[in-house]
Structure 1
Amino acid sequence: MAEASIDSVTASETGASFDAVVIGAGFSGMYMLHRLRGLGLTARVYEAGDGVGGTWYWNRYPGARCDVESVEYCYSFSEELRQEWDWTERYPSQPEILRYAEHVADRFELRRDLRFRTRVTRAAYDEAASRWRVETDRGDRVTARFLITAVGCLSDARVPGIPGAGSFRGESFHTGRWPHEEVDFTGKRVAVIGTGSSGIQIIPVIAERAAQVTVFQRTPNFTIPAWNRPLQPEYARWVKENYAEIRSTMRDSLFGIAASFNTGSALEASEQERLAELEARWAHGGPGFLGAFGDTAVDPRANELVAEFVRDKIRRTVADPRVAELLSPRDHPIGTKRPCFDTDYYATFNRPNVRLVDVRATPIEEITQTGLRTAGAAYEVDTIVYATGYDALTGALLAIDVTGAGGASLRAKWAAGPRTYLGLMTAGFPNLFTITGPGSPSVLSNMFVSIEQHVDWIAGCLRHLAETGAAVIEAGPGAEDAWTRHVGDVAAQTLFPLADSWYLGANVPGKPRVFLPYPGGVGAYRVICDEVAAKGYEGFVLSP
């Protein structure tokens, strides 16, 4: 791995020309490269890290694990790949997912077109040449007919601007930028700031080793037990034998997973029926719990019944009633923030070396040389872990200086929120495609299902351009306006807007409050995209 990565870093390229430049060598970028090669197109992939894997390259924190089952969280494009790879656990850990990414890169000989430790800093569209001019921090100056962003939805790590952070004398880490070497928490006093998905995963692991763990929580989150376990060989074999049928079900589903979803109403079910359904799904664990009833996502009364079921589980698990109440969310409907799936999270707060600080009641005022100070007390710590999330969906893309036709800035265009057509293109930026960007199901789905759908659609579009002799494609402004409204309208029919979540950009000060992903489901979205393509790419403008 290391040797191949070093070989993929060369002197800066100046004047090179490609059919396509892809930004990012995660699972989106790797599959896009594979499809571009299949079309006979030349491509260069630039990656800021020194290896493949994207999110799973950067997120190396203890306890990092996918919340989609391993047999579903993988590529489907290659039957040979599906049959030869064996997962070891129900929910794959970060090291195992990264090994899978490296296996894919080697098996399909992708590394020769990858450039690691190279960050794209600027991309400008040259209208006269109908080409993108791309610059990197290593001095590369290349051109490409197509620019395809595979920058990831959760890749722009956000550290809150707490006064005094630079003065801390101990170690500090962000879960999304974890060091490659092991961090030893043994005997240390550790502060964890944040109780989102990464915080919920890392806190129980740190608590097993540290002398003291102080969790600083602003907003409690609902979390469902994952009940992770070794993958049984018989089940893995059955999946391989029936994978085509399983994948078809996933593609037509709401979230891109094979879990069964009950369309019945929580309000119409008797209390006995409702509790039986919820108990069965709790015992199974994972994302299928949120599919217990069809009205949970749209009816506040139904949602509250499911939310109270989880709060009751918290009360039954956490010994201290005061702590249990602090851990019980009451400011947002269940499922309207990123669903979390845990291993012993609530039980961890029964440990004598774990304490919970409510920073909504006593905000963090500053970080000192030796710890943190809130409005109520000072805390001496050796290590600070920031589990504070990301500038989701738009942050990584807007970190690049992108200018389209007429020198228009993408940052300026999206100043009031992202505007896309199908989440695939944005008007005024010809031949620029975004994979799982804002306006697509992306983070509301199994990312592999959405990645493959987007990449396949883009590949089909490029083939269409070649067959028709068109050189340029871009989103039509009218189609973009209609799609942007549609995304907002669908979100408004759900309970999503009732939560101050990163789905709405609420975790980043100053970020526009716009619902970012498309909540209509991957199955419905696929049908829309396929219909647009079948109608000659309706809503897009093609030109020679």
Structure 2
Amino acid sequence: MSDQSNNNAVAGANVVEIDAVVIGAGFGGLRMLHELRGRGLRAQILEAAPDLGGTWYWNRYPGARTDSESWTYAYSFSTELQDEWDWSERFPTQDEVHRYLRHVADKFDLRKDIVFDTRVVSAVYEEETGRWLVTTEDGKRYHCQYLVTALGLLSLPYKPDFDGIDKFEGEWYVTGRWPRENVEFAGKRVAVIGTGATAVQAIPLIAQTAAQLTVFQRTPNYVLPARNYTLTDFERESIRASYDEIWRKARKHPFGYAFDRAGVTKKDVTPDEHRNILERGWETGGFRFIFETFDDITLDQEANEIASEFVREKIRTIVKDPDTADLLCPKDYPIVSKRPPLGHFYYEAFNRDNVSLIDVSSTPITEITAGGVRVGDDEYSADVIVFATGFDAGTGAYNHIDIRGRGGQTLREKWAEGPRTHLGISVDGFPNMFMVSGPQSPFGNIPVVVEGTVEWIGDAIGHLRMNELDTIEPTAESVESWWQLLQDYINATLLPRGRHSWFLGANIPGKPRGVLFFFGGVGTYRKTCQAAADGGYDGFTIESIHSHRRRAMCTSQLIGGTQ
């Protein structure tokens, strides 16, 4: 069938004609919908889940909560929203974050433009019309000028394909797809596979009721104490009064937090002063241990090793059994080269009589048996298995949608050797496709990253509409330059030395290794994006469909004339 026949078929079919389709109703998708509406566009979100929330809908495992402080894990676009919402804790639970997002959706009447239980299977760019045809699993189709993916950086759980899992006679769960109904651990033998951020949160709670908890660890983490606490009315009032300054700091901070830079490096202090500053950071808790102690922890190997050994000493102090403590100590990679989780009495859980730790770094899990987990020749009995094995970060969710750009090229083909983007927002060959927190955007406090990106996308679409232009697309040269910039930034740090780090896709067997995130800092990123916009969208090709057709026709005639 010709392209023209395809277009006629689309026009005559039952297709929803709309300005923009947003895929995903998490933090990014909700904010994007609000932005598009405010600019007068007809937009809809397509969401696979039965409710909004994205990560905060699916990740309802025991202990799930933010690792960002509540007052910055929120939207900044509405003063009224800030003034009326009360956070209860420093690090809110999954349920509280989910309630917050539902409150936002209700307050701004977003639900009427969200289609739930709708999984997108394909999105195809039509060069003739300059529009996208989006198809869902149930056969519905949407025809739009702008396609926005808000799929999330950590939205596709990774469950290793262990042999024998179908034979397991007990219950098994994946933390990233936790059931809505209550899961009972009381009196049961529980196996938790993995010791990443989700496992670190779940293990202390599961240990409280399980008859026996066996934790299988491949790579130990540097787990920082969260030091969570309940917010008082006085603290909430102070936060509200300080929001302008909070957001000013967060937008400039390398990782999007409202933290003051330490202003100190290893060379500025004596060994005793160094120790005292680290102690203060440990007691303050959270990521402040990294960002408010020394500015060179991620850059200088010696400064990093001092901080790394400090954490190892804390582990040995907390965990009573020396052998268990030694297994829990990371020894062969620098702190922060993998994303450090925040713990809520994580190490203390290993002092319980009903908790044991199994090292699978040298002897991996052989199979899942009918009665439990086999490691080498040893079998560990379990009634329940919890797979806390992380996510296929950055690109995973994109690989599950058939996205096709110019010439029918798929995004999977385009990214066969790793993602290539410009600004982590767009891809050459895929006009008018925008990514919110896409691969190669900053890694940091997601709401702060999201809002900057959404505003940039809104401005870009506004620029097109105001100037009666149809498409925007990065040049191949700008994509290549962005890729090189990512290499330069990460190679200036200690981050490439992380073991099995999802920063580089190294946690997924067979996944191309590459830089998945921008590590030049959230503040730097915002300035870079703004500079591109201020320069007339430097690095992008912007045109009308009619001029593109005329150019293609002239090229065709020229080629025909030379034959």
TM over 0.5: yes
- In 2 relative to 1, CA 85–419 (structure 1 residues): closer, same or farther, beyond 3 Å? same
Deviation at 1:268, TM superposition (A): 4.2
CA distance in 1, matches of 2:89, 2:142: 42
Aligned to 1:275: 275
Aligned to 1:139: 139
Deviation at 1:295, TM superposition (A): 1.2
CA distance in 2, matches of 1:349, 1:460: 51
CA distance in 2, matches of 1:355, 1:14: 58
Aligned to 2:315: 314
Deviation at 1:234, TM superposition (A): 0.9
Aligned to 2:386: 385
Q: Which amino acid in the other structure matches residue 181 of structure 1?
A: E
Aligned to 2:85: 85
Q: Which amino acid in the other structure matches residue 464 of structure 1?
A: H
The alignment partner of 2:70 has SS state of coil
CA distance in 1, matches of 2:421, 2:207: 43
Aligned to 1:5: none
Aligned to 1:57: 57
Aligned to 2:347: 346
CA distance in 1, matches of 2:399, 2:77: 30
Matched-pair contact (CA < 8 Å) for 1:19–1:144: yes
Matched-pair contact (CA < 8 Å) for 1:67–1:91: yes
Aligned to 1:301: 302
Q: Which amino acid in the other structure matches residue 343 of structure 1?
A: H
Q: Note the alpha carbon deviations across 1:438-485, whole angstroms, 9 max, x for none.
A: 1110xx211000000000000011111111111000011101100111
Aligned to 2:421: 420
Q: Which amino acid in the other structure matches residue 293 of structure 1?
A: F
1:465 aligns with 2:464: yes
- 5 Å-filtered alignment, 1:9-408, equals 14-291=14-291, 292-408=293-409
CA distance in 2, matches of 1:343, 1:245: 29
1:485 aligns with 2:484: yes
CA distance in 1, matches of 2:14, 2:361: 52
Q: Is there any run of 5+ residues in structure 1 with no aligned partner, and where?
A: 1-12
Root-mean-square deviation over aligned CA pairs: 0.9
CA distance in 2, matches of 1:201, 1:172: 18
The alignment partner of 2:503 has SS state of helix
Q: Note the alpha carbon deviations across 1:274-301, whole angstroms, 9 max, x for none.
A: 1110000100100111121111101111
CA distance in 2, matches of 1:239, 1:174: 36
CA distance in 1, matches of 2:333, 2:436: 29
CA distance in 2, matches of 1:435, 1:361: 39
Q: Is there any run of 5+ residues in structure 2 with no aligned partner, and where?
A: 1-12, 545-563
CA distance in 2, matches of 1:95, 1:14: 38
Deviation at 1:506, TM superposition (A): 0.6
The alignment partner of 1:208 has SS state of helix
Runs of 4 or more consecutive aligned structure 1 residues displaced over 6 Å after TM superposition: none
Matched-pair contact (CA < 8 Å) for 1:263–1:295: no
Matched-pair contact (CA < 8 Å) for 1:266–1:305: no
CA distance in 1, matches of 2:151, 2:484: 25
Matched-pair contact (CA < 8 Å) for 2:214–2:355: yes
The alignment partner of 1:518 has SS state of coil
CA distance in 1, matches of 2:369, 2:261: 49
Q: Note the alpha carbon deviations across 1:236-287, whole angstroms, 9 max, x for none.
A: 1011011012111110111111122213222442111111100001001001
Matched-pair contact (CA < 8 Å) for 2:249–2:259: no
1:516 aligns with 2:516: yes
Q: Note the alpha carbon deviations across 1:355-404, whole angstroms, 9 max, x for none.
A: 00000133110100110111141111100000001100100012100000
CA distance in 2, matches of 1:86, 1:493: 40
Deviation at 1:433, TM superposition (A): 0.4
Aligned to 1:8: none
Matched-pair contact (CA < 8 Å) for 1:14–1:142: no
The alignment partner of 1:192 has SS state of strand
CA distance in 2, matches of 1:263, 1:335: 19
The alignment partner of 1:100 has SS state of helix
Matched-pair contact (CA < 8 Å) for 1:267–1:301: no
CA distance in 1, matches of 2:268, 2:449: 33
CA distance in 1, matches of 2:208, 2:365: 25
CA distance in 2, matches of 1:482, 1:176: 34
- If the length of structure 1 is used for normalisation, what is the TM-score? 0.96
Q: Note the alpha carbon deviations across 1:308-366, whole angstroms, 9 max, x for none.
A: 00000000000011100000001210011112101110011000000000001331101
Greater Cα shift, 242-251 or 530-539: 242-251
Greater Cα shift, 62-71 or 290-299: 290-299
Matched-pair contact (CA < 8 Å) for 2:315–2:347: yes
CA distance in 1, matches of 2:265, 2:90: 29
Q: Which amino acid in the other structure matches residue 355 of structure 1?
A: S
The alignment partner of 2:541 has SS state of strand
CA distance in 2, matches of 1:80, 1:41: 23
The alignment partner of 1:64 has SS state of coil
The alignment partner of 1:179 has SS state of coil
Q: Note the alpha carbon deviations across 1:103-142, whole angstroms, 9 max, x for none.
A: 0111111111101111100000000010000000011111
Deviation at 1:36, TM superposition (A): 0.6
Q: Which amino acid in the other structure matches residue 480 of structure 2?
A: D
Matched-pair contact (CA < 8 Å) for 1:261–1:288: no
- If the length of structure 2 is used for normalisation, what is the TM-score? 0.93
CA distance in 2, matches of 1:325, 1:440: 36
The alignment partner of 2:472 has SS state of strand
Matched-pair contact (CA < 8 Å) for 2:249–2:260: no
CA distance in 2, matches of 1:293, 1:279: 12
Higher Cα radius of gyration: 2
Aligned to 2:9: none
The percentage of aligned residue pairs carrying the same residue is 49
Q: Which amino acid in the other structure matches residue 24 of structure 1?
A: G
CA distance in 2, matches of 1:165, 1:269: 54
Aligned to 1:411: 412
CA distance in 2, matches of 1:440, 1:134: 24
The alignment partner of 2:237 has SS state of helix
The alignment partner of 1:101 has SS state of helix
CA distance in 2, matches of 1:261, 1:274: 16
Matched-pair contact (CA < 8 Å) for 2:253–2:259: no
CA distance in 1, matches of 2:398, 2:455: 21
